[in-house]
Amino acid sequence: MSFIYSTTAGELDMADAIAPHSAAVIRRALVAMAAHGSPEAAFALDKKTIPHASTSPDLAEGISSFLEKRPPRFTGVAATDLPDLTAWLDR
């Protein structure tokens, strides 16, 4: 069975508005949960990434843009800015 899916303009706008780190962390959590077969793996991953997220410049930008009622200008690059959790995920 195959699915045909087309992306709407609203979905693209939402994707542009989401911080790249947020999307990457969510993907990592889903991979961890699938690889380890339980949501506890995703919770453990959250425990390791939340301290990093709380110091990210994108957090301050997200809050500022919300309060100023303007689109966010995220500068983070998920591929290089997130902590390396590869060894932990391979367990």
Domains by residue range for the chain, with CATH: 9-89 (1.10.12.10)
Contacts of residue 82, Cβ cutoff 8 Å, sequence gap at least 6: 21, 24, 25, 28, 49, 52
For 22-55, give one letter per residue: b (16+ CB within 10 A) or e.
bebbeebbeebbeeeeeeebbebbeeebeeebee
Torsion of CA 61, 11, 25, 58, to 10 degrees: -10
Q: Which pLDDT score is estimated for 20? A: 67
Q: Which pLDDT score is estimated for 47? A: 80
Q: Which pLDDT score is estimated for 2? A: 61
Place of tokens 């966010």: 72
pLDDT per position as a tens digit, 39-84: 887 787 778 777 777 777 888 888 899 999 998 888 877 667 666 6
Q: Which pLDDT score is estimated for 69? A: 94
